[in-house]
Amino acid sequence: MSAAKTITTHEDTRLAAAAVIEMRGVTVSALRDPKIIVAKEVNWRVGPGEFWAVAGLHGAGKSDLLMLAGGVMAPAGGIYEFLGEGMPIFSEDRLAHRLKLGLVFDGGRLFNELTVAENIALPLRYHRNLSLADVEPAVGTLLELTGLAHCGGVLPGALGRNWQRRAALARALALKPELLLLDTPLAGLDLRQRQWWLGFLDELVRGHPFYQGRQVMLVVTTENLRDWHEHAQRFALLDSQQLTTLGNWPDVETSSNPLARELAAGTSWETANSP
């Protein structure tokens, strides 16, 4: 075996053994105001191939936790590593590692002055230094993949919440990240749209043809665990500045935590969305 082959094999083994997300004693502050603490002493490990759902009531700090996991902001304390490297990553020489992670913001956060197709093209143009014409085939594939073929030339403001969110998903998938973080992807969607999202994310976890069968690891946030009980493998709860790992679905249903059981029953979501 050549030296180059040996190095590659050792590197692959190291990455396979490493946690995807490793937080040790992490303090999470609010993105809007770093003086506000939303979680303390977070010890959380996301292993290779896992699909997590992190639940909490509105305002619990789920978005802030996800922004930290996505490298948008640094921990206020403790250590956070993504695939074995310290986060956040801002330096140009480590950008390739950072781009193994994709983030779908709550509400999409699209650029309103750009069309849907132009929004989706941004990561490819910026990180690959390509023209809009160069990325047109890839953007077309992403539009088809997410059911947006009819929306490519439309500005985001003319679209409903579901289509904006799908455009944000397509943009996040453009560089084919290994880990995808999604902030409350099902919030406010009707039954048909929720089913589309759940089915599509299941395909990503199993190995979507877009990824040539390679699996994508997922972390979603939610206010309703019931939506994810046949989809996510691992569950956690963010409440009162504490992130608690609940385990698998049977562990959630038998949890001694009353809020975990409430969110597992869908009670809070149903109450919030009742007529």
Between 272 and 115, name the one with better pLDDT.
Answer: 115
Give the chain's mean pLDDT. Answer: 89
pLDDT value of residue 8:
39
Q: Are the C-beta atoms of 170 and 106 separated by less than 8 Å?
A: no
| pLDDT, average across residues 217-223 | 97
Give the relative orientation of helices 132-145 and 116-128 as an angle to the nearest 10 degrees: 130
pLDDT-based confidence at residue 272 (cuts at 50, 70, 90): very low
What sign does the dihedral 113-114-116-121 (CA atoms) show? negative
Length of the chain: 275
pLDDT value of residue 12:
44
Cα–Cα distances (Å) from 182 to 91, 133, 175, 270, in that order, read 24, 29, 16, 21
| pLDDT, average across residues 95-116 | 92
| pLDDT, average across residues 19-45 | 96
3-state secondary structure at position 103: strand
Give the relative orientation of helices 161-173 and 116-128 as an angle to the nearest 10 degrees: 20
Q: What is the pLDDT of residues 225-270, one digit of tens each?
A: 999 999 999 999 999 999 999 999 999 999 999 999 999 997 544 4
pLDDT value of residue 93:
79
| pLDDT, average across residues 56-77 | 95
pLDDT value of residue 267:
53
pLDDT value of residue 269:
43
Exposed / middle / buried, residue 257 (Cβ in 10 Å: 0-12, 13-18, 19+): middle
Exposed / middle / buried, residue 9 (Cβ in 10 Å: 0-12, 13-18, 19+): exposed
Between 217 and 92, name the one with better pLDDT.
Answer: 217
Q: What is the pLDDT of residues 163-183, one digit of tens each?
A: 999 999 999 999 999 999 999
> If DSSP states are collapsed to H, E and C, what string results for 157-173?
HHCCHHHHHHHHHHHHH
Asked if the model's pLDDT at residue 17 lies above 70, the reply is: no
Q: What is the pLDDT of residues 110-168, one digit of tens each?
A: 999 999 999 999 999 988 888 889 999 999 999 999 999 999 999 999 999 999 999 99
| pLDDT, average across residues 192-217 | 95
| pLDDT, average across residues 87-101 | 86
pLDDT value of residue 7:
37
Asked if the model's pLDDT at residue 218 lies above 90, the reply is: yes
pLDDT value of residue 275:
37
Non-local CB neighbours of 85 within 8 Å, separated by 6+ positions: 94, 97
Q: Which residue from 95, 85, 86, 93 is spatially nearest to 127, judged by alpha carbons?
A: 95
